A and B are shown apart, each in its own frame.
Chain A
């Protein structure tokens, strides 16, 4: 079980989360040319090692998170909310986030 430290809920089983995708992909503007969209939607670095990826805490706080995780060891280096505004809110309230205390 990968244990993901959700910045809102605390450390939880990965089965509460849904894996998203490679978070390093920058999606182009909606009207960007086909080549840009082709690259964003279909092509991947597929890193063996530490990558940035998105997960959603589907059965928890429903936040989309950016997780820095090693794809070879499953070790997690960092987690933050994908939404910068949410990340800022949690940073402000972060003293007892998710501890339930």
Chain B
């Protein structure tokens, strides 16, 4: 396997780019694996990688019904941040951000993590104080966070709407270490690195059934035939958007999850126009924007507000983000939307995820990332691998379990209440 570097590019340039090999094998399914991860999205691929890299696990398959990284991995607005404050969340997301900072080196794949700063605009004293609590918590727990006054914000982003805004901007909460990464590259980087450690990534292999032997999974049925799991074998689910369907296949009933639709948007490419991630949320609006390295303005807003498995959205959400975009960046009025598309999210009852054991002894669940799963994927894989390898949750993810609703554990960063559509 070629190690990627400037030198390898140069050598191959001289050779007409003919000597590159496959980034990962196109593995055929075998009849038996020790560990099966269902879903070759970011979380599944990262889990497989860390199982092999951190825990020395072998004989691992990742099953993907379509193409790896073809779901939400490739359909998000690529924002990476760790500005979480609730005790159950804070150390997890900080760990994830630290993994991001070395991910390109770890994977020998440039995931283009650009720590360009994440700026949340503030409009009211109450919002400023709420942000202070959050960013103070981040600072006290070893992360970075700042409150900017209006002058500092104007110096950093001079062309925001300071003159004619319905909701005047009074300052910003900033995490400088946050930023964006190239979403596809993360999937491909994990896939390549996992493949190098012997993981079989099996594409076009849809799981159609889960066979149980009492309270264990004994096999998974797939569109490419059954795959058995040994006595010490384990199965992990990482199938955002379709978690409930797999859960039902395992005969486990209901989950605190609903599938909802979120759209993402990109404009025509432009010369550099915005150097940070900017987040806008006031008066019921919710909006985030950054510029890709290619030049497109990449942005998104709220869910489409109704439950949906359809990967296409509707016009009201399109209008809403256009209103937000031009409201904070009035120069975007003439900028043209190039594409908008929808993905399906595991929305949970408290906006928080699950990395946990299940009622079945060898089945593990990684789900419920709402629309914050991209930034979480390294730590999600890290801790899910740890959970599967050691059959117990690390303290960091203790609250990411299914029992928290019964017990009354609250890690809802928004306080929005038990309604999936209100989280994000």
Contact = CB atoms under 8 A, between A and B. Distances in A.
Establish whether A and B are touching in the complex (CB under 8 Å).
Answer: yes
Given A14-B316, A44-B255, A44-B257, A74 B305 contact: no
B314 A14 contact: yes
B314 A44 contact: no
Interface of A: 1-2, 13-15, 18-19, 21-22, 34, 38-39, 41-46, 48, 51, 53, 55, 71-74
Interface in B60-102: none
Contacts of A18: 305
B405 A38 contact: yes
Interface residues on B, range: 20 to 34
B335 interface: no
Nearest to A73: B310
B306 interface: yes
Contacts of B305: 18-19
B256 interface: yes
A53 B309 CA distance: 14
Contacts of A55: 306
B405 A19 contact: no
B419 interface: yes
B316 A13 contact: yes
Nearest to A35: B406
| Nearest 9 interchain pairs by C-beta | A46-B244, A43-B254, A15-B316, A19-B306, A42-B405, A42-B256, A48-B309, A72-B309, A42-B349
Interface in B285-342: 305-310, 314-316
Contacts of A74: 308, 310
B258 interface: yes
A1 B314 CA distance: 5
B421 interface: yes
Contacts of A71: 259, 307-310
B245 interface: yes
Main secondary structure on A side of the interface with B = mixed
A19 B254 contact: no
Interface of B: 242, 244-245, 253-259, 305-310, 314-316, 349, 405-406, 418-421
A39 B253 CA distance: 11
Contacts of B420: 44
Given A1-B315, A46-B307, A71-B310, 8 more contacts: A15-B316, A38-B405, A41-B405, A41-B418, A43-B255, A53-B307, A55-B306, A71-B259
Contacts of B255: 43-44, 46
Looking at B242, B245, B307, B310, the one whose CB has the most chain A CB atoms below 10 A away is B307
A45 B421 CA distance: 15
Looking at B244, B259, B308, the one whose CB has the most chain A CB atoms below 10 A away is B308
A30 to B, nearest CB: 16
A34 B405 CA distance: 11
11 contacts: A13-B316, A22-B307, A38-B406, A41-B349, A41-B405, A42-B256, A44-B254, A46-B255, A48-B244, A51-B307, A53-B307
Contacts of A14: 306, 314, 316
A46 B314 contact: no
Contact of A72 (B253, B256, B310, B419): B310
A39 B283 CA distance: 33
A72 B259 CA distance: 10
A13 B317 CA distance: 13
A2 B257 CA distance: 23
B316 A1 contact: yes
Nearest to A40: B418
A48 B259 contact: yes
Contacts of A45: 244, 254
B316 to A, nearest CB: 4
Nearest to A16: B316
A2 B418 CA distance: 25
A55 B309 CA distance: 17
Nearest to A49: B309
